[in-house]
Amino acid sequence: MVLVLALGDLHIPHRAADLPPKFKSMLVPGKIQHVICTGNLCVKEVHDYLKTVCPDLHIALGEYDEETRYPETKTLTIGQFKLGVGHGHQVIPWGDLDSLAMLQRQLDVDILVTGHTHQFTAYKHEAGVVINPGSATGSYSSINYDVNPSFVLMDIDGLRVVVYVYELIDGEVKVDKIDFKKTTASST
Amino acid sequence: MNFCRYAALRRQLLIDPQVLKNGSCSPDVVMDNPLSQNPDSMWGRFFRNAELERMVDQDLTRLYPEHGSYFQTPGCQGMLRRILLLWCLRHPVYGYRQGMHELLAPLLYVLHIDLELLSEVRKVYEDHFTDIIDGFSFHENDWTHKFDFKKLPEYMEDCNGSESPVKINSLGELEPKIQTIVLLSDAYGTEGELGVVLSEKFLEHDAHCMFDALMNGTGGAVAMAEFFSPSPFGGSHTMFPPIIESSAALYHLLSIIDSSLHSHLVELGVEPQYFALRWLRVLFGREFALEDLLVIWDEIFAYENTKFNKPGTNDAESNVGVLNSSRGALIAAFAVSMILQLRSSLLATENATSCLQRLLNFPVDVDLLKLLAKAKSLQALAVEAINSTPLLILPRLHGRRNAGFTKAHIPSLDLTSPRTTLNMAHESYWEERWRVLHMEEERKQGSAASAEKQVPNRKKGWSERVRLRLSRTKCDPFRSKATFRKKNETDEGRKNIGGDVDFGHKIPAEVEEQDVKDTNFSTSETRCSSGCPGNEENSSNISDLSTPVRGTNDYVNMSGRSSVASNFSAEENDTDSVNFEPLQANPESSPLPVSELDPDDDTLNSTQNYHSVIKQAAGIKERKLLSDKFQLFWKFGRNINEGTSDRAAVSEDAIACDSGSDCNNVAGSSIVNGCNSTSGISKAEIIDQNLIFSLSDLGQSMLENIQVIESVFQQDPDQMGSLENCKNAIVGEGHITAMAALEELRKISNLLSEM
């Protein structure tokens, strides 16, 4: 019952002023155990805000981040799952599943979380899951102007992860749910 | 029985949100996602349960550490947690309150002990536990027989683990106790028709049922849950929570039985719920050891719990609902007998705090049987009392609750153990009031302590005055505000002023050390009140002593400062002038201590020595003057304390710059000092220095001061006009008295110079 929040590409303050209020009201401290951020926060204030949501914060370096000391990729283990974070602008073509799968094999993780495309996607392939939480503020990207704010909440429980996707469409929060099960409990 | 119900409940309420997902058919994800704010969502419930569990865990870890070998084991803790959670989830009205676990723990303990005993007996007397029907003994292994399946697992274990039993042939040869146990386990005997009474597998279920019954009262009157409820009992017609009502009933019973003790407690302001809350909520669980508690509970539960139904009782006159049964009466009677046990020590104490301490730390070595016997004898009386507890008592109780705050010492709610779970609004209000009063009390004690040191023979009148002064708060904030403002206006001179003020600030903190503070207290006191010429004595002492050490400013600065000081003095009337009065007395006494004193003494000694000097001086002076001074001083010190916290640094700097005896500076600073109080530490340093100076210097400085003051008084009152109206009135008064005081000071200085 570990709740992991995945979000990124906020581009505050350059492209967006803040998270949508409906999202902010949902992100109450105390419920979430980990936060994974794909990058492009961009300023320290956002970092501090995310810290208030949950003290366990993992950030990957995006190309617009003002704090350059974040790592480019990061791996962590939660329960039975290994998670990897990267921003995604290094993976070319941007958002391509095969290339992302390459990165996933490189990092040797079950769940890879990347961003940069500002578009929510969640792919499953035989080696694991690739998740793109999109842009939590709905800021424009280099390839897309019309972006819906979205983020992802993962509920990791044993060998199973439930991915809740929260999207703000036309001012309403839409939630979707995807189930993934890990086939083997191997730790290799 | 209830086993199935409990099991079902357990499954249903202690849910894992994940588990349900498998079975359910696509619940609305928008509603049921983990971040959903929707209170009905599964996740919402999950988080609420988690919160409840956290609270329960907090209490469980602290449960009965002295019996930790049982209560702190994970199995027992898990059981307790599940039972408590389930009960609280089923009764969301009450939620989980601290104390519920203490009610449940002994129940579980009893069940466990019984079970242990049973298994031991089983081991020893194995033969008698076999089913004997029609002369044949059928062992449990024979599955064709219908018997209580629940008994099987334990019996198998026992069979495996049993030693060779003692050969006893018939049941009748066993001890009666063991007989009972054997019979109770007999699934087929007459007692066995109830089924197996004790069963390890269903320990938890049993405990839950018992706990539920205890809390609900099973239709009777005493429902423990009521003691945890913040809202008024349904059947009562008063607006108070049941625990308050019951506490009032306790006191009512006590007043019937022992009215002198009752009135004594009431007079002190010891409200019954301070201690009764803990007693009743846990049914005395915290006052006695576990074994004793079980004895008490046996007695309590032996009494019937059916509600008394007084026919013809109209609604206007209510009984105390929750104690309205013979069991309730026994509980009340027991509580009263506990209070009576402490009778002598309670009557001896004069303040509520120690009373409560006595009540809350019930002595361990009491004769329990005596207590119980007494309780039983009082029980009949209690029944009557509870049936007739008039409504009138409760509103009075409420009224007293408020009145008591203003009058007596309000004991800290902290005394009522961590399990005080009164309504949160109540608690914060009470605590706040207590703190306010406690601070006043502390200051009073602080100044009282210092006053006692100084003037032992004067305490009585002084303490009375202090009480009066306590109510005088009107002008004091103004004082601190004005002084604050004034201080900001000056620069160099301000340092001394600030230093002076800080002295008052430090006074409450360093009561024990700085006896000299008393004199400073008096200084400030004079400032605060009006028309107390005598008060300046000590302040003048201090100011004089400190003047030789004062700053580096020349006369010009001094006059600037003195103008400021004059404002103070004007406001605080005759502070300065009166300051010089006691010197008349001091010179006689001070030569002796001065010569005796070793300048190398640490500051503390020197202050104390100086203090003794002042004491002698004080002894010579009129009593009234000093006592007034102390009051004012203390008052002022308090205000200064509240008003100024940042001037400490300033004062330190100011005082640090010791210099030679520049009379002008001395004069100016003395004025300032006369007006304010200096920091205790700096005072100490000053006093060290002061010891060196001769009296003639003092006289000289006094003279200078007088001159300055006079010049100040001749200044236009525009400075005074800048003060608030409150001060203006006082200023006017002080003006006259200040002039009078100045005259006296002049005389004293003349005397000094002659010496």
**Interchain CB distance below 8 Å, B29 and A177:** yes
| Helix, strand, coil in percent for chain A, rounding step 5 | 15, 35, 50
- The gap from C-alpha A120 to its chain's centroid, in whole angstroms, comes to 9
Residue A58 has pLDDT above 90, yes or no: yes
Give the C-alpha separation, B249 to B254, whole Å: 8
Q: Helices (H) and strands (E) in chain B — how many of each? A: 38, 2
Query: To probe the interface with A, which of B16, B31, B35, B47 has the most A CB atoms within 10 Å?
Result: B35
For chain A, the C-alpha Rg in angstroms (whole number) is 15
| Helix, strand, coil in percent for chain B, rounding step 5 | 70, 0, 30
- Give pLDDT < 50 ranges for chain B: 1, 16-26, 131-171, 187-195, 235-236, 311-318, 391-427, 448-464, 466-630, 632-692, 716-731
From chain B, pick out residues whose CB is under 8 angstroms from the CB of A20: none
The predicted pLDDT at position A107 comes to: 92
Q: If residue B663 lies in a helix (H) or strand (E), which one and from where to where?
A: helix B663-675
CA of A146, closest CA in chain B: separation in Å? 23
| Cα distance from N-terminal residue to C-terminal residue, chain A | 23
From chain A, pick out residues whose CB is under 8 angstroms from the CB of B47: 31
The predicted pLDDT at position B725 comes to: 45
The predicted pLDDT at position A50 comes to: 92
The tokens 């029944």 sit on which residue?
Answer: B383
B37 contacts chain A (CB < 8 A)? yes
pLDDT in tens, B715-740: 544 444 444 444 444 445 556 777 77
**Interchain CB distance below 8 Å, B30 and A173:** yes
Q: Helix, strand or coil for residue B95? A: coil
With b for 16 or more beta-carbon neighbours within 10 A and e for fewer, the B406-439 pattern comes to eeebbbbbebbbebbbbeeebeeebeebbeebbe
> 10 Å Cβ neighbour count for B615?
21
CA of B36, closest CA in chain A: separation in Å? 7
Give the C-alpha separation, A168 to B162, whole Å: 68
> 10 Å Cβ neighbour count for B616?
17
User: Do you find a cis peptide bond into A93, omega within 30 degrees of 0?
Assistant: yes
Give the C-alpha separation, B293 to B270, whole Å: 26
For residue B687, which phi and psi values (nearest 5 degrees)? -65, -35
| Cα distance from N-terminal residue to C-terminal residue, chain B | 102
DSSP B717: T
Residues in chain B: 755
Could you give the C-alpha distances from B372 to B255, B291, B337, B341, in angstroms and in order? 20, 14, 8, 11
What is the full DSSP assignment across B20-40? HHHHS----HHHHSTT---TT
Q: Are B203 and B115 in contact (CB under 8 A)?
A: yes
**Interchain CB distance below 8 Å, B34 and A153:** yes
In terms of C-beta distances under 8 Å and separation of at least 24 residues, what long-range contacts does B129-137 make, across chains too? Answer: B129/B155, B129/B158, B129/B182, B129/B185, B129/B186, B131/B187, B131/B188, B133/B188
**Interchain CB distance below 8 Å, B30 and A25:** no
Q: Which residues contact residue A80 at a Cβ distance below 8 angstroms, ignoring those fewer than 6 apart? A: A156, A158, A159, A182, A185
Give the C-alpha separation, B202 to B537, whole Å: 81
Q: Which residues contact residue B393 at a Cβ distance below 8 angstroms, ignoring those fewer than 6 apart? A: B248, B251, B252
**Interchain CB distance below 8 Å, B29 and A175:** yes
Copy the structure tokens of residue B528. 């605060």
From chain B, pick out residues whose CB is under 8 angstroms from the CB of A160: 18
- For residue A73, what are the β-bridge partners? A86
For residue B215, which phi and psi values (nearest 5 degrees)? -75, -40
From chain A, pick out residues whose CB is under 8 angstroms from the CB of B46: 1
CA of B44: which chain A residue's CA is closest? Answer: A31
CA of A176: which chain B residue's CA is closest? Answer: B29
Copy the structure tokens of residue B355. 């009373």
Q: Which of A26, A157, A176 sits opposite B35 (nearest CB)?
A: A26
CA of A156: which chain B residue's CA is closest? Answer: B18
CA of A96, closest CA in chain B: separation in Å? 29
From chain A, pick out residues whose CB is under 8 angstroms from the CB of B18: 1, 155, 157, 160, 162
B38 contacts chain A (CB < 8 A)? no
**Interchain CB distance below 8 Å, B29 and A162:** no
B33 contacts chain A (CB < 8 A)? yes
Tell if the pTM clears 0.90, that is, is over it. no
Indicate the average pLDDT of chain A: 89
Q: Which residues contact residue B552 at a Cβ distance below 8 angstroms, ignoring those fewer than 6 apart? A: B657, B659, B662, B665
From chain B, pick out residues whose CB is under 8 angstroms from the CB of A152: none
Classify the complex by whether its ipTM is higher than 0.95, answering yes or no.
no
**Interchain CB distance below 8 Å, B34 and A174:** no
DSSP B323: G
Q: Which of B714, B717, B720, B676 is nearest to B494 (CA)?
A: B676
Give the C-alpha separation, B227 to A11, whole Å: 55
B307: alpha, beta or left? (left if phi > 0; alpha if psi -120 to 50): beta
Q: If residue B269 lies in a helix (H) or strand (E), which one and from where to where?
A: none
Q: Where are the alpha helices (DSSP H) in B140-175?
A: 151-161
DSSP B457: G
**Interchain CB distance below 8 Å, A176 and B47:** no
**Interchain CB distance below 8 Å, B30 and A174:** yes
Chain A residues within 8 angstroms (CB to CB) of chain B:
1, 3, 25-28, 31, 153, 155, 157, 160, 162, 164, 166, 173-177
CA of A99, closest CA in chain B: separation in Å? 31
From chain B, pick out residues whose CB is under 8 angstroms from the CB of A27: 35
Q: Which of A31, A173, A176 sits opposite B34 (nearest CB)?
A: A31
B25 contacts chain A (CB < 8 A)? no
